[in-house]
Structure 1
Amino acid sequence: MKKIFLPLLIVIAALGSTIFLAYSMRMQSLSFAWALNFLLMFWVSIFTETQTKELTSPYYTAKAWEREGKLYGYLGINLFRKMLVIIGWEKLNKKSNPIEKNVKALEHNLLRTKKSELGHLIIFLIVLVVSVVVAVNRGLRDAMWLIIFNVLFNLYPVLLQRYNRPRIERALQLIRRNEQGKRYRHGA
C-alpha cells in the first residue's frame, strides 16, 4: 500500500502546486518558466529519491554510438559542463557527493546518474507539454522562456547523464578488474 500511496501523494501535490502556479502567474513570463522548472525539480527529486528500484531498464544502457560521447560533444555538452563549473554547480555537487575511486562509490554514482536522468526527463516532458499548450494558445513567442529553460534545465542535464554514465561504467570495470587481479595474485 505504501508503495502506491506515497508516489500518488507526491503526484497529486505536484499537480496541485503546478496548477496553482499556472493560475497565479502569467504562463508566458520568465518568472513562470523559472518557477515551474524549480517547482517540478522539487517534486520530482522527492519522487525519484523515494523510489527504491535499481533502474535496470535497457533505456539506461549506453548505446554503441553514445559510448565515445562524440555526438554529445557536437551538441555542446562540454560547453554546458563548463557553464556548470562557472556557476558553481559542479563544486556544490562534488561537495555533497564527493567522487571516490571505489566500487561502492562508483555504483552509487551510477545510480545517481540514472535517477537524475529520470527526474530531468520527467520534467522535460511535462514542461514540453506546457510549452506546446502555451505556444498553441498564445503563440511560439510566448512559450520561448519555457522552451529555453527546458533545454537548459532539463534536456542538457539528461544529455550530461547519458554522457557521464559510460565513463563511470568504464571506471567501475577497471576497478573491478584490478581487484580481481589482486585477489588472483594473492591467491584469495
Structure 2
Amino acid sequence: MTVKKILFPLFSVFLLYRSFDLIRNLINTHPQDYSITEIFILSLLLALFITGVFAFTGFAYATHKMLPETYYKVKNKKLTNKLYDTLNIAFFKKLLLLFFWGHKTQRKKYFNGKRTGLQSFVYQTKQSEFGHLASFIIIQIVVIILIFHNYALLGLFMTIINIFGNLYPVLLQRHHRMRIQSL
C-alpha cells in the first residue's frame, strides 16, 4: 500500500512533465510540420497523459475530497437522465463492460454485488468522477491554448477524445450515484 502511495504520484508527476513538454514542443513548432495522423496521435497522447496525471494520483489517494460532498449529490435527476439518454451513455457503458470491465473479477474490484459493497461502489464512482472531471477541464484549457497557437485540428481531435474519454465517464458515474441515492 505504501509503495502505491509513493510510486503512483511519482508516475503522475512524470506524466505532468511529459504533458508540459509536449505542449511546449507544440507551441514551438507549426501545425503544418505534422501530418493529420501525427496530429491525431499527439492529441491522443496528450489527452492520455493529462488524464493519467489525475488517474494515478486517484489510485493512491482520496482525490474526490478536493470537491465538496454536496457536488456529488445528484440534484437534477431529470437532467441527468436526459443527458444519459440523449448522449446514449448506456451504449458507452456496454462498451466499457465489453472491453474493460467484462470479466467478473474486474467488476468485483468496483462493486462486489452485495448491499455492503455499495459504500465502496459510491467511493469508486466519486474517485472516478473527480479524476475524469479534472482531466476534462484541464484538457479543454489546453485545447484553448493550442487553438491560439493555430492547432485547430489538434484541438478538435482532443475535444472529441475528451468527450468520450472523460465527459462520458463523468456522466456515467453521476447516473450510477443517482440510482443509488434512491435506495
2:107 corresponds to? 94
Per-residue deviation, 1:112 = 0.4
Deviations 1:111-133 (A, max 9, x none): 00000000001111111011111
Letter in 2 for 1:18: S
- Alpha-carbon distance in 1 for matches of 2:9, 2:101: 32
SS at match of 1:130: helix
Per-residue deviation, 1:44 = 1.1
Deviations 1:124-145 (A, max 9, x none): 1111011111222215334111
Task: Among all aligned residue pairs of Structure 1 and Structure 2, give the percentage whose two residues are the same amino acid.
Answer: 26
Deviations 1:148-173 (A, max 9, x none): 10111011111111111122333xx3
Q: CA RMSD in A?
A: 3.0
Per-residue deviation, 1:9 = 6.4
1:106 corresponds to? 118
Structure 1 runs (4+) deviating above 6 angstroms are 6-11
2:43 corresponds to? 33
- Alpha-carbon distance in 1 for matches of 2:48, 2:113: 29
TM-score w.r.t. length of structure 2: 0.73
Per-residue deviation, 1:109 = 0.6
- Alpha-carbon distance in 1 for matches of 2:44, 2:120: 30
Contact 1:66/1:163 (<8 A) preserved: no
1:47 corresponds to? 57
1:132 is aligned, of 144, 149, 158, to: 144
Q: Which has the larger radius of gyration?
A: 1
Corresponding pairs, count: 164
Per-residue deviation, 1:102 = 2.3
